[in-house]
Each structure stands twice: as C-alpha cells, then as structure tokens.
Structure 1
Amino acid sequence: MESILYRTITEQDYPQISEMLCGIWQFDKYLNDESTVRRAGLAFWYAYLARQNYAEAAERDGRILGILLGHCGSLPFPAEHKGFEKEARRFLREFSRSGEGRKFYKAQTRTAKYERQLLAPYEGSFDAELVLFATAPEARGLGVGKTLLSRFNAFLKKQEARHAFLLTDSFCNFGFYDHLGYERLAEVEGLLGIEADGKPLHFYLYGYEV
C-alpha cells in the first residue's frame, strides 16, 4: 500500500471528487435519479472551485481520501476562474430541469442565505477562507484532515494572512473544529425544506487566527 500523497487537485480528479462529495452529503437521500445526483455533485463542485485559489487533495493508491479548497484574499483567482463559474451554471441548469432538482436547489439557496446572515456582522474581518473541506470515510484515523488543514494554514502564513473563517452546519462533523480550538463566532437555526425529520439545521461560523 502506497503512502498518502498530498498534491494539487487536477481536472482529472473532478469526477472522483464529485462522486465522493455526493456520498458524503448524501445527495441520494433527496435526489432519486442517478444522473440528477451526478449533475448536482458537479454543479456544486464547480461552484466551490470558483471561490478558491488553493486546491489540494490527499491521495493513496489512486483514490482521493480528502480535499481542501481555500481562498487567500491577497492572491488572485486562478486563470480558470471564469471557466469554473460557467461550468457551475451549465450543470446547475441541467440539474434543475427536474422537479426534485429545483427543490434541492432552492434548499441550497436557503443555505446561502443563512451563511450571508452569519457573515454580515463580520464584513471585512477576514482575509482568508476555508472554502471546502471533506474527507472520505476510509480516511478516518489516518490524520488526513489534520494534515490538509495544517498544510493550508502553512500556505496562509506564507502569504501573511491573519484571520480565516469557515462555514459549516450541524449535518457535518462540526465538532472537529471545536476539537481543534477554532472559535465558534455565530450560529443560526434554519429549515431548508428537504429535511426528512422536519428538524431544523444549525449553521455555524467559525474563525481562527492563522
């Protein structure tokens, strides 16, 4: 078995990463059609790519074990930035053609509303963002998550960034950030309209000193 390789994400990784994210986010609980699930994964993946200027993956034996997208405010977006936005819109149009796709998309727009609500009081307070962070189930116990975060923070320090933030919710393993000592700055409660149990989610804003 090969050791874990930490490297820049390439275009060849996109299908595998999108599939991994669909599984982690359990898109198949809300979307019944396999092609709709695939398009949803690609739409959201490209939307996240359009927000980053740092993209790294952890790989072993050809399998992606984790990914981290980040943004440092002192650096420009990559040359592919406009292309990422265009692809996100294209897959979003395809994904939203079905009724369940439109319902799921509306739920994501509500998520964006809650995130804007969390960030509004802190406008101008941050110069970096942890845009997207995910690890595959088989990566548990391997230290992949901590290593990806450590490498990103080392990158931010090199760029002299000081204050970073991340947004997450109670569907995710937010306790991981508590364990690492990140400061929970704010939270809101909200309904997305797709909850099977009718219970609201909690949305969190975390901040930390680089």
Structure 2
Amino acid sequence: MKLEIRELRKKDYKKAIQSAIIGMHFNWYTDSKLAVNLYGKYFWYLEMTRATQVIALYADDEFAGVLLAEMKGEHKKFRSFWGSFYVKAFNMLHNLFTKGGVSVYEEANEEMFAQYTKTNTPDGEIIFLAANPEIKMKGIGSALLREFASRNKGKEIYLYTDNACTYEFYEHRGFHRVGEKDIVLQLGKKQVDLQCLLYSKVLL
C-alpha cells in the first residue's frame, strides 16, 4: 500500500470519528455505545470547526488517518451549519446532565496551559490526530506529523492528551511534557481516574 497526502473526503468523516473513538478509548467514560458514538461525533465536529489545517493520509484509496491543527493567524477550514448546531446542542445537554464531570478535565487543561504560557508563546495546537485501525500499516501517525512539520517549520506547537491515549507516541517523536495533572471524572455513577497531559515541540 502506498501512503499519500490528499484532501480529506467528507465521506470519510465517519471513519475519522471511529478512529478517534477507538484510539482515544471513549468507552472508558461510558458503557453506552450510543453515548460513545454521539460523543465521538461531537468531538470530531468540535475540532473541525476550530481547524485551520486539515491533513489527511490515504493508503491507496482508503482513509488512513487525519491531523487537525489550529494555528495562529490562519482562517478556519471548515464551515457547516449542521456541525456547529450539533456541537452547540451537545454542549447544552452535556452541561445539563454531567455537571462537575468533564468540566474538571477542561479546568485541568486550562491550568496546565496557563502555567506553560508563562514562559512560552506557542504558534498553534494539534487538536486531533487519529489513524484508521483498519489499515494494518505502521507509520501513519508519523507520516502525518512529518507533513505537518514540513508545513510549519520553526513553529512551536502544543497538544493536550491523557493516559487513556498513546501519549508515548509523542514522547518518542521529540515532544516534551510541559504539564501534567491528575483528575477524577465523575460521570453519573462511573468514576474515571485520569492524568491530563500537555506536550510541546518546536517543529524542525
């Protein structure tokens, strides 16, 4: 199979969502498949509405992975009334039924970022990176990062992740851990212990 950078096809959004659900272990947070899929869709459209760079990778004609980034001074790539409406509606329902849940995660990220930016002025953020688990190839994530770096040489970027994800992937590729915070998510009757992480790197 040959890996190739292309424009992301709209028909592959579902595959990107499923890649995130599996790679980021959304099933840690709920036993409901419906809730997992609804959250995966929300997460995708939330990040797409922020993205200024969208880098998609294909293996022959199959979706292999995608990287989304929000860079300072760049225009948003995605415009969708439906996507924006879904994000807003989901946020309203989410805040109504999970008060004190995910807000703890967001507060931890804000705290780490505030500390990080006391001494750093980043140029942008990687907001989404996922590889299609159905493509049995190594190097998809690395290829996406290389393409992103080639477009943004010399820029300092950061990203949020946690111990539910393969954070070691970033450490093996020169990212430095610049923040960490242990939290407990209380989602209904389910309690999840997490370590929130912040990574940074100047792209070469």
Q: TM-score range by the shorter chain?
A: 0.7 to 0.9
The answer to whether the aligner puts 1:137 opposite 2:153 as a matched pair is: no
More helix by share: 1
**1:108 corresponding residue in structure 2:** 102
Shift of 1:37: 2.7
CA 1:53–1:82 in 2, change beyond 3 Å: closer, same or farther? Answer: farther
The answer to whether the aligner puts 1:208 opposite 2:204 as a matched pair is: no
Contact 1:40 / 1:92 at 8 angstroms: preserved in 2?
no
CA 1:54–1:82 in 2, change beyond 3 Å: closer, same or farther? Answer: farther
Shift of 1:136: 3.1
The answer to whether the aligner puts 1:148 opposite 2:128 as a matched pair is: no
Q: RMSD of the alignment, in Å? A: 3.0
Inter-partner Cα distance in structure 2 for 1:38 and 1:126: 32
* Greater RCO (Cα-Cα under 8 Å, separation 6 or more): 2
Contact 1:114 / 1:188 at 8 angstroms: preserved in 2?
yes
How many percent identity over aligned positions? 22
Contact 1:72 / 1:156 at 8 angstroms: preserved in 2?
no
CA 1:140–1:114 in 2, change beyond 3 Å: closer, same or farther? Answer: farther
Letter of the 2:178 counterpart = L
- Residue-by-residue CA offset, 1:128-185 (whole Å, 9 max, x unaligned): 111111223345652111110010111113xxx6211111111111111111121111
Aligned residues: 201
Shift of 1:127: 0.9
Letter of the 1:88 counterpart = V
The answer to whether the aligner puts 1:74 opposite 2:70 as a matched pair is: no
CA 1:125–1:141 in 2, change beyond 3 Å: closer, same or farther? Answer: same
Q: Which runs of 5+ in 2 are unaligned?
A: none
- Bigger mean CA deviation after superposition, 44-53 or 123-132: 123-132
Letter of the 1:143 counterpart = G
- Runs of 4+ off more than 4 Å: 138-141, 194-199
Inter-partner Cα distance in structure 2 for 1:79 and 1:194: 31
Letter of the 1:120 counterpart = A
More strand by share: 2
**1:121 corresponding residue in structure 2:** 115
**1:1-210 map, 5 Å:** 2-60=1-59, 62-78=61-77, 80=79, 84-92=83-91, 96=94, 102-103=97-98, 107-123=101-117, 125-139=121-135, 142-157=138-153, 162-194=155-187, 200-210=193-203
